[in-house]
Amino acid sequence: VTGSGVGPTQIKRVLGIAKAYLTRVGSGPFPTELFDKTGDLLGEVGHEYGVTTGRKRRCGWYDAVVVNYATRVNGLTDLAITKLDVLGCLDEIKVCVAYECEGKRYTTVPEHQSVFYHAKPVYETMPGWKCDISGVRNFYQLPREAKDYIDFLEQLAGVRVSIITVGPDREQTIDRYWK
């Protein structure tokens, strides 16, 4: 912020953005990566291909441990959860709430890359909503299961989920608290 003409005391809100599931390009640790038909389905429904290369992105379940870490490190006050609509085709949805590695449980990102690389996710499973939510424009119109999912992510992140997207178009953005 230094030199931008905006003093740090003038910043009241900091928005972070995360998908309702995770993706990654390239190599490296990705504890929640899915190597099954669910991962393929998320990639297809979510159009998870590189814009320039066309290469398929790696897909996995939402990792609340990583998002909580990013929230704390970056001083976030709010989150935007994108692509919630992509999960509408699933019977159940998993959320990584911790890792296990060499008999030890981690509720935060391990300090050492080698531990993170070998971490096994600990999941909580939630019911899916099994319907198209792309036409929803208000949080309270979402199915109970989708609202519960967002509330759970909010609790795990420790900040408000203020914006939710249910499709790629601008009008498919739900403004929950950001106003």
Q: What's the confidence (pLDDT) of residue 27?
A: 87
Q: What's the confidence (pLDDT) of residue 32?
A: 97
Q: Where are the alpha helices (DSSP H) in 46-174?
A: 64-74, 113-118, 144-157
Radius of gyration for the chain, computed over Cα atoms and rounded to the nearest angstrom: 17
73-97 per-position pLDDT tens digit: 999 999 999 999 999 999 999 999 9
110 pLDDT more than 90: no
pTM of the model as a whole: 0.92
Helices 64-74, 144-157: crossing angle, 10 deg rounding: 50
4-14 per-position pLDDT tens digit: 777 778 888 99
- The residues that bridge with 15 in the sheet, in sequence order, are 78
146-175 per-position pLDDT tens digit: 999 999 999 999 999 999 999 999 999 999
| Side chain identity, residue 110 | P
Q: What's the confidence (pLDDT) of residue 45?
A: 97
Q: Please state, in angstroms and rounded to a whole number, the distance separating the CA atoms of residues 32 and 175.
A: 28
Q: Is the dihedral of CA 157, 96, 105, 25 positive or negative?
A: negative
Domains (ranges, CATH) in the chain? Answer: 13-175 (3.90.170.10)
- Note the residue count of the chain: 179
b/e code 43-60 from CB counts within 10 Å (16+ = b)? bebbebeeeeeeeebbbb
Q: What's the confidence (pLDDT) of residue 152?
A: 98
Question: What spatial distance separates the first Cα and last Cα of the chain, rounded to whole Å?
Answer: 23
